[in-house]
Amino acid sequence: MIRRLAVIGVGLIGGSLARALRAANAVEEVIGCGRAPANLARARELGVIDRFTQDPAAAAADADMVFIAVPLGAMRDIFATIAPRLAPEAVVTDGGSVKGSVVADAVSVVGRAPPWLVPGHPIAGTEHSGVEASFAELYRGRRVILTPLSETDNTALERVTQMWECCGAEVTTMSVAHHDEILAATSHLPHMLAFGLVDTLSRMHEHEDIFRYAAGGFRDFTRIASSNPVMWRDICLANREALSAMLARFSVEMTDLAESIRRADAERLLSIFERAKQARDQQVERARSA
């Protein structure tokens, strides 16, 4: 049971955590914090939070659990503001999509890896933003990756694990570097492809006809191009090494595919598509039977 939860950044991710914990009766009081008073007032109206402040230090003071769910570029300032005001038993965790930058931000503020910080990342989301888009079931049956450091307090890790389990999530742990490499491949690269494709097409002369005749395949592939631009700018900057390596590798494969099309190499095209279909079908089957 969490006595007082401070949610810094009451949007899709922070709002959904608060809703899920409330639905599970796992929190007594939720304090919201953000920059936009209208969004915070709406969060209170929706029953996502009990009260709010625009001052992260005031929100975190006297909270036993602090969840930071702001864009990655805002994390460092939040750590700097809350660190001196945390209660001795407070645990801080976050939902940021990249973990190396969050840990570096905390270390740069505190001077060392703080024992009270449990870096985390719910592998769940949508292309929508803000508290209106949040919902209690977002994390049900989804994975949450925690990336504790050797300095992380064990009790803090246990409390954050329990918090996510209360939301119906499956918690796994891995190293910060491994997390950032994996997510560069499975989340960050696909978002670059979707943003890149839609941007390219939208600047073509015939773009109105292109979008008019786009159907299911295009819609499925490009849903995530509606995601929050600020959030994705920050993810690219925060994970630029791993993402650049993935983009370079993907470019080589795309050049090979383009060359096979140019050469009318039917055999090579079929072998690439069969290999991809088999890999995806296997992955869908594994997910279904898990």
Ligand X SMILES: NC(=O)c1ccc[n+]([C@@H]2O[C@H](COP(=O)([O-])OP(=O)(O)OC[C@H]3O[C@@H](n4cnc5c(N)ncnc54)[C@H](O)[C@@H]3O)[C@@H](O)[C@H]2O)c1
As measured in angstroms, the least distance from the Cβ of 12 to ligand PRE is 9
Sorted by sequence, the CB contacts under 8 Å of residue 81 that are 6+ apart come out as: 55, 56, 57
Pick from ligand X, ligand PRE, none: which does 34 bind, CB < 5 to 8 A by kind?
Answer: ligand X
In the complex, the smallest distance separating the C-beta of residue 112 from ligand PRE, rounded to whole angstroms, is 27
Q: Which is nearer to ligand X, 55 or 253 (CB)?
A: 55
Residue 34 found at the interface with ligand X (CB under 6 A): yes
Identify which of residues 12 and 83 has a Cβ nearer to ligand PRE in the complex: 12
Region near ligand X per CB under 6 A, out of 94-102, 159-167, 248-256, 273-281: 94-102
Considering only 22-30, 33-41, 112-120, 251-259, which stretch makes contact with ligand X by CB under 6 A? 33-41
For 155, half-sphere exposure in the C-beta direction (CA atoms, 13 angstrom radius) is 7
- Determine the Cα–Cα distance for residues 133 and 273; give it in Å rounded to an integer: 36
Which of 93, 97, 147, 239 forms a contact with ligand X (CB under 6 A)?
97
Burial class of residue 139 (count of CB atoms within 10 Å of its CB; 0-12, 13-18, 19+)? buried
Q: Which residues of this chain interact with ligand PRE, rule CB under 6 A?
A: 97, 123-127, 187, 224, 227
Strand-pairing partners, residue 212, are none
Q: Which residues of 264-278 are buried (b: 16+ CB within 10 A; e: fewer)?
A: eeeeeeeeeeeeeee
- Cβ-based neighbours of 124, under 8 Å, separated by 6 or more: 138, 139, 142, 143, 169
Interface residues with ligand X (CB under 6 A)? 8-14, 34-36, 39, 69-72, 74, 95-97, 121-122, 125-126, 129-130, 228, 231, 235
